[in-house]
Structure 1
Amino acid sequence: MASSVTGSVLPSGSKVFTTIPDFLFIPEFVFGGLVWTLVASTHVVPANPLGWVMFVSIFCFLITTFWFFIFITGKNQSSIWPGLDAGYHAFAAFFYLSAAVLLAYITIFLNALPYTDVLKMYKLDIAAVVMAFVTTLLYFIHAVLSSLRWKSS
């Protein structure tokens, strides 16, 4: 993978797929979409906390999609974009960490619920927790690498 420090400040076009940290957009889409799908496929027993998890996953999925299209089209070439990139990914990592911890807390107490399909919901929630923490890690790594790129620009 090529480094995005050389040449222009941020990559555009197809270089987004080959530069560090921008290649992380695709795994962020995949794992963030999995969190969204897995939480949506379970019963919403504690509605408010799972609503926060759904909000975070949909919000970050949509904003990352918007962010990705900005990078693909090359509208990210002014000097403010490296800082915005680092800031957004740090913000998304914090949001996903809050959602992942909340989802893990809810999943711990899911076994006590009197439902017939608790085991299926429990397995789906465990998968969602794992995907949420993986997505948190991806956003965190992206934020750190974007911060390093911002510092070097």
Structure 2
Amino acid sequence: MASNTVTMQHLPSGAGICTTIPDILYLPELVFGGLVWILVASTYVSPPNPLGWVMFVSVFCFVVTFIWMVVFACGGHNNKGSWATADFLYHFIAAFFYLSASVSLATITLAMKDLVDKYYKLDIAAVVFSFVTTLLYFLHTILSAMRWKSF
């Protein structure tokens, strides 16, 4: 006879966040997000509005991802399904924000190519790292959705 029991996957805590998927993606998200933050901050900020959005997204996602990682590492989530939902929603919003910031940064970089050649290589590096960070957040979103559906 088939069993009707559902096995609940537990959210990791402690060092488990460094060994489980999707939580292993926290560290690369922090590294590449920090690189975007540093590279954009060290370039010529013109025009300020789109680059201000890029800085907001990179700093906001860096801080919230770090806090999120600390909460999971300390076990503050108590293995409840609502935390899996919140994890999915946060990473979905972060992926969407980073995609919009990456497109804005790429557009500005292409437009500023001839005007400020001194910072062009830094801007190109920032665009590459921004799209890599977008990809990491997108992968984390998909994997978090799969974990959320298993609850």
TM-score w.r.t. the length of structure 2 is 0.92
Give the deviation of 1:8 after TM superposition.
Answer: 4.9
Other-structure match for 2:130: 132
Give the deviation of 1:55 after TM superposition.
Answer: 0.2
Other-structure match for 1:102: 104
Q: Where in structure 1 are there 5+ consecutive unaligned residues?
A: 1-5
Hey, what's the Cα distance between the residues in 1 that align with 2:136 and 2:81?
24
Structure 1 residue runs of 4+, over 3 Å off?
Answer: none
SS at match of 2:66: helix
Other-structure match for 2:56: 55
SS at match of 2:81: coil
Deviation track 1:52-94 (CA, whole Å, cap 9, x = no partner) reads 0000000000000110010000011222000100110010000
For 1:104-123, what aligned pairs fall within 5 Å after superposition?
104-113=106-115, 118-123=116-121
Other-structure match for 1:3: none
1:56 is aligned with what amino acid? Answer: V
* % same residue: 61
For 1:3-152, what aligned pairs fall within 5 Å after superposition?
8-76=9-77, 77-113=79-115, 118-152=116-150
1:92–1:139 Cα contact (<8 Å) kept: yes
The alignment yields a C-alpha RMSD, in angstroms, of: 1.2
Q: Where in structure 2 are there 5+ consecutive unaligned residues?
A: 1-6
